[in-house]
Amino acid sequence: MSIADYQKQRKVILLRHTPSPEETIALGAKLCYSKSEIEDLRGKVEAKDQSAFIEKLMNMGHESVLEHVTFTFGIEGVSRVLLAQITRHRIGASFSVQSQRYVSYKDGFGYIIPPAIQKLGLDYVKKFQSQMENILTWYDEWQQLLGDAGEKSNEDARFILPNACETRMLLTMNVRELRHFFQLRMCSRAQWEIRDLATEMHALCMTVAPTLFADAGPACLRGKCPEGEKSCGKGADIRKAREDMIEALKHPETTHVEDMRKLLKGELFFVNGASHIASTDAHISGDASYDGYIVYDEAGNSWFESDFAGYEPPEEG
Ligand SMILES: Cc1cc2nc3c(=O)[nH]c(=O)nc-3n(C[C@H](O)[C@H](O)[C@H](O)COP(=O)(O)OP(=O)(O)OC[C@H]3O[C@@H](n4cnc5c(N)ncnc54)[C@H](O)[C@@H]3O)c2cc1C
């Protein structure tokens, strides 16, 4: 297999989460203010929708109760650049990361090509791929010079590997840290790869516990942008997109069609009552037999404009 085949696409799976996240958090909070025994409180919490109570809690800033609930993600097809950034999040975040010491890359390594390089065109993508080929040759050379001794030679041969190198990890974060992570990393000031990942993780969380994550994301969702001169100035668009997402989640039976052509990788979209996460941006089909937009979801399904019931292409011009 040529190393060109090792170009990787990001994949994010929500593997596990604390059952009944919203009830668990409400139980933690109500316990603080109640004389009742825990079983009695649990009955009361389970008997009533807790959304309004949780919104109140978060407005009050009573956030420690959010630590009772965790979400665990499987993440593949991301770079070591991303790894360096995401592991800066220390509190309420746990990582298990594929090791470059125990795993040898003698048969090749996966790598991420930044979209900006892909946009330069095929010649530049090939140039990047050929540079990866060179690095693999150097890695092999060091493996040989270090005695091709498995773990022993892997641990030093890896020093020649690039930041583009693919990694995969299991990541568990509690809800308090997730909300903090989304605030920093979904902001347009964050670097593209971690921003895309955070956006996709947020979309997955929204399908499970919308009350906990409805206002999670860049600071401009909740108030003034703190970035001053560096602000992207898109606060109004970001707030509108979030309102649309919340509405769509409340009425999944109504196909959410408004912006099919603007659908970005990692965004939620709805077709016939079911939610999907876009694994590609919506783009013009490369297939001459289909003259329209296409997007792929997490499960690898392709979605066409005709799948979006009632979709009417915007008028040109
Ligand atoms: C746009 C952007 C650019 C960045 N650029 C750089 C850069 O150039 N160089 C660089 O080194 N980093 C950079 N970072 C990383 C940044 O400095 C943080 O390390 C990272 O975002 C993790 O966030 P956090 O510190 O809030 O950590 P988390 O682990 O997510 O901590 C959560 C919160 O817990 C509290 N906390 C955590 N640890 C402590 C502690 N030891 N003492 C007291 N309170 C604590 C803080 O309130 C903290 O906000 C950048 C981040 C962003 C979003």
pLDDT digits (tens, 9 = 90+) for 134-189: 999 999 999 999 999 999 999 999 999 999 999 999 999 999 999 999 999 999 99
Assess whether pLDDT exceeds 90 at residue 244: no
Measured in Å, residue 270 CA sits from the centre of ligand 1 at 34
Last residue of a domain, one of 250, 268, 298: 250
Residue with the smallest CA separation from ligand 1 atom 49 is 180
pLDDT of res. 259:
62
Both 103 and 223 in a single domain? yes
Output the CA 278–ligand 1 centroid distance in Å.
29
Predicted confidence at residue 245, as pLDDT, reads: 84
With cut-offs at 50, 70 and 90, classify the pLDDT of residue 2. very low
Query: Which residues, at least 6 apart from 26, have a Cβ–Cβ distance to it below 8 Å?
Result: 45, 50, 53, 54, 57
**pLDDT, the chain, mean:** 89
**Hey, whose CA ends up nearest to atom 46 of ligand 1?**
91
Q: How many domains does the chain have?
A: 2
3 versus 201: the higher-pLDDT residue is: 201
| Residue that is last in its domain, among 216, 233, 250 | 250
pLDDT at 312: 62
Q: Is the CB of 88 under 6 A from ligand 1?
A: yes
Q: With 70 as the cut, is the pLDDT of residue 309 above it?
A: no
**Considering the domain boundaries, does residue 236 fall inside one?**
yes
Q: Does 184 contact ligand 1 (Cβ within 6 A)?
A: yes
53 within domain boundaries: no
Determine the structural domain holding residue 274 and report its residue range: 257-307
Report, as an integer, the average pLDDT of 280-306.
79
| Spacing, Cα 185 to ligand 1 middle (Å) | 11
For position 115, what pLDDT does the model report?
Answer: 87
**Could you tell me the distance, in angstroms and rounded to a whole number, from the CA of residue 218 to the centre of ligand 1?**
15
Whether residues 276 and 184 share a domain: the answer is no
Give the model's pLDDT for residue 311: 59
Is 263 in the same domain as 238? no
> Looking at residue 134, what is its pLDDT?
96
CB-ligand 1 contact for 97 (6 Å cutoff) = no
- What CATH code is carried by the domain that includes residue 88? 3.30.70.3180
For residues 188 and 206, state if they share a domain.
Answer: yes
Predicted pLDDT of residue 257: 56
Answer whether residue 262 is part of any domain.
yes
Q: Is the CB of 189 under 6 A from ligand 1?
A: yes
User: Which residue's CA is the closest to the ligand 1 atom numbered 53?
Assistant: 184
User: Does residue 275 have a pLDDT over 80?
Assistant: no
Atom 28, ligand 1: residue with shortest CA distance: 89
Residue 265 lies in a domain: yes
Specify the higher pLDDT residue, 248 or 169.
Answer: 169
Ligand 1 site, residue 84, Cβ cutoff 6 A: no
Q: Are residues 284 and 188 in the same domain?
A: no
Same domain, 181 and 303: no
Residues 236 and 261 in one domain: no
The pTM for the full model equals: 0.86
40 Cα: distance to centroid of ligand 1 (angstroms):
40
Average pLDDT (38-62) is 91
Q: Is the pLDDT of residue 21 over 90?
A: yes
Q: Are residues 82 and 212 in the same domain?
A: yes
- Looking at the fold, whether 107 and 190 belong to one and the same domain comes out as yes
Catalytically active residues are: 185
Task: Point out the ligand 1 atom lying closest to the alpha carbon of residue 191.
Answer: 1
Residue appearing with tokens 């990001």 = 10
- Whether residue 87 is contained in a domain is answered as yes
Query: Does some domain include residue 187?
Result: yes
The whole-number pLDDT of residue 316 equals: 53
106 lies in the same domain as 215: yes
Atom 2 (ligand 1) nearest CA: 190
- The reply to whether 188 and 219 lie within a common domain is yes
Q: Is residue 268 part of a domain?
A: yes
210, 246: one domain: yes
> Which of 87, 180, 231 maximizes ligand 1 atoms within 8 Å of its Cβ, making it the mutation to test the pocket?
180
In a domain? residue 222 = yes
Average pLDDT score over residue span 105-132: 92
